[in-house]
Amino acid sequence: MSPLLFAQRILISGESVTRATALRDEIIRNIGGEASIQVETITVSGPDGDSSVRDAIIAGLNELRGFADTFLIDARSPPPAGEDALWDVPLSEWCREHPTKNSQKSTLLRAKSFLQLLIQKFESTPRFAVVILGNRHDFGAGCEILLTKLQRDISRLNKDSTVHFIDFARSGENVQSEPVSAAVKILLSSRSDRKLVSISEILNLVHEDVTPLKEDSINQDNPQAEYPASDLTLCRSLNIKKRSVKIALSFDFDALSAFLGTGDHPENNLADYSTGIFAGQVGGRRLLRVLKKHGIADQVTWFIPGHTMETFEDTVKEIVQCGAEIGLHGYAHEGAYQMTEAQERDVLVKCMEVAQRLTGKKVQGYRAPMYQLRETTIELLKEFGFLYDSSLSHHDSQPYLVPCAPPVQRIDFSKPASSWLRPTRLSDMESPTAGRPLVEIPTGWNNEDMMALQYFPHLHNSHGHVDARVVEQRWKDIFLWLWENPDLEDGSFVFPLLMHPDTSGMAHVTGMVDRFIGWLRGWGDSVQFHTFSSIAQSWLEEKMKQQG
């Protein structure tokens, strides 16, 4: 919960005297008669050191009687070369530190000094807020990490204290002080759990019915005093629509089977097979420990080949005991086009029997090895009563009904053009087809770990030497774009994520997995982990309800 705007003491720390002074004056003017607010401006220029920042913050806190309810860090950097034309820019303007490094350093230095002073002064730290004004792009990939770390450490001092970042990325750096102070006021009075918001988003919120603070309700000598909620509610009608994001986290437990089906190659050798054994005996258990740590081991889905179930049965039993859902993933990781239709049926029946024996439940979901399925696969899944498939990507963040279209025909360029100058016929993904509906939970190459992070000597499109942080940032970019640009009016979407014990079970990747799951959980109750079957079932029920 964010602290409400107590209308007591706000401390502004920034590098621009003009901007900080204007912001201070506008905050006082914006709150007006609602409270008497003291604001202290700290200006630190040049090569900042711990001592100079600390001394400035001490001076500011002394002016505020030793405490600030809100510590406002103005991390907005001026545009390179200011307003000057290119031909008038002094060379020194282009010799400054890298802006990303400089922004992070400056912000962390101010936050560090402020928190150190609170620790020294208070045995039990009062509730407070840290608000950072800046351009998210200036912080680079580390912005979310910085906010997560700050929130974690601030919560150690006071569980109700929060950190917020108001992003100016889409608004430019020349936003006037008036909307900035209004944005700070709205954010702090809204009880928002959001860490990162854009200034344009927060200023577009409806905020009527402003209730002034009563002067006699403010205890100027006791910053820890509690006040009636009615007196603190500045924006009672501020209504931030709550998002609902379902994280569809899955694991394809290929292990040794990865080298037997789609990964078969005449030059596969013991060293290759050894990596599959690692996945079955070590990698899977490592990931299971991470899931247990975050309390989501029963909220994920494992797609497991029958060969893995029978070869590494002890590991699979541990997964089942944690309450995870088990879906099918072929037997030896074979693709549909490697088999006859009769073989495809036999493999599916065998895998269903193995899964039933290990889980005691009828299996509900399927993912084709290497996403290699065909129309006969879909018909078999419907015939055997499967609830969902997760092999296609007609959409990337919404469930849909598996289309029932005729096969896409390859073009035979040896024939006259008139024979292939025609469109491809597609089927409706919204209306149920004849027979049992089959839900598709989308997946795709950009939402998985293996191709970028694991090296296969005989697979041309694998890499294996990409920094895990590159993949981590890609996943964050996907999530953030979907969050800011939802397809549905209510902002809800499914975020599919695919990992492999073969890949994410490796030590240098497991740490990234741990961080990323923690980052997702940091979005609060708007983001929930779900098994694929629960997502498919709830979506199908809602779809049927809409269609009467």
Q: Tell me: pLDDT of 467 over 80.
A: yes
Compute the average pLDDT of residues 319-344. Answer: 96
Question: In whole angstroms, what is the distance from residue 548 CA to residue 543 CA?
Answer: 9
Q: What digits encode the pLDDT tens for the residues 66-82?
A: 888 888 888 876 554 44
Q: Tell me: pLDDT of 538 over 80.
A: yes
Q: Tell me: pLDDT of 187 over 50.
A: yes
Q: How confident is the model at residue 42 (pLDDT cuts 50, 70, 90)?
A: low
Residues in the chain, overall count: 548
- Mean pLDDT lowest for which of 230-234, 362-366, 468-472? 230-234
Q: What digits encode the pLDDT tens for the residues 477-506?
A: 999 889 878 788 778 999 999 999 999 999
Question: In whole angstroms, what is the distance from residue 432 CA to residue 401 CA?
Answer: 7
Tokens 């402003």 found at: 210
Q: How confident is the model at residue 232 (pLDDT cuts 50, 70, 90)?
A: very low
Tokens 């090569």 found at: 47
- Could you please state the CATH topology (level 3) that the domain comprising 245-407+432-546 is classified under: TIM Barrel (3.20.20)
Q: Tell me: pLDDT of 225 over 70.
A: no
Instruction: Note the pLDDT of residue 6.
Output: 44
Q: What digits encode the pLDDT tens for the residues 417-462?
A: 999 999 988 887 776 666 789 999 999 888 999 888 888 887 777 7
What residue type is 299 in one-letter code? Q
Q: What angle do CA 164, 168, 171 make, to 5 degrees?
A: 145
Q: What percent of the chain has pLDDT over 90?
A: 43
Q: Tell me: pLDDT of 173 over 60.
A: no
Compute the average pLDDT of residues 98-103. Answer: 59
What residue type is 502 in one-letter code? D
Q: Which of 11, 24, 110 is nearest to 67 (CA)?
A: 11
Structure tokens at 548: 């009467």
Question: In whole angstroms, what is the distance from residue 153 CA to residue 144 CA?
Answer: 14
Which 3 state secondary structure label does DSSP give 303? Answer: strand
Q: How confident is the model at residue 88 (pLDDT cuts 50, 70, 90)?
A: low
Q: Which residues contact 55 (CB under 8 A, 6 or more apart)?
A: none
Q: What is the pTM of this model?
A: 0.63
Q: What percent of the chain has pLDDT over 70?
A: 77
- Comparison of pLDDT for 279 and 107, the residue scoring more: 279
Compute the average pLDDT of residues 333-337. Answer: 95
Query: Helix H segments across 64-206?
Result: 99-121, 136-139, 143-157, 177-188, 199-203
Q: What digits encode the pLDDT tens for the residues 1-25?
A: 333 444 568 888 887 777 777 777 7
Compute the average pLDDT of residues 47-57. Answer: 70
Compute the average pLDDT of residues 100-112. Answer: 78
Q: Tell me: pLDDT of 207 over 70.
A: no
Mean pLDDT of the chain: 80
- Mean pLDDT lowest for which of 58-67, 174-183, 243-252, 499-508? 174-183
Instruction: Note the pLDDT of residue 357.
Output: 97
Q: Tell me: pLDDT of 222 over 50.
A: no
Structure tokens at 422: 């025609």
Spans of all domains in the chain? 9-85+98-232, 245-407+432-546
Q: Tell me: pLDDT of 230 over 50.
A: no
Q: How many CA atoms lie within 13 A of 147 on its CB side?
A: 26
Tokens 């602290």 found at: 3
Instruction: Note the pLDDT of residue 46.
Output: 45
Q: Tell me: pLDDT of 206 over 50.
A: no
User: CATH second-level architecture of 9-85+98-232?
Assistant: 3-Layer(aba) Sandwich (3.40)
Q: What digits encode the pLDDT tens for the residues 189-202?
A: 665 566 677 776 66
Query: Helix H segments across 454-506?
Result: 468-484, 501-504
- Mean pLDDT lowest for which of 134-148, 243-257, 321-335, 384-398? 134-148
Q: Tell me: pLDDT of 287 over 90.
A: yes
Q: Which residues contact 464 (CB under 8 A, 6 or more apart)?
A: 452, 453, 454, 455, 456
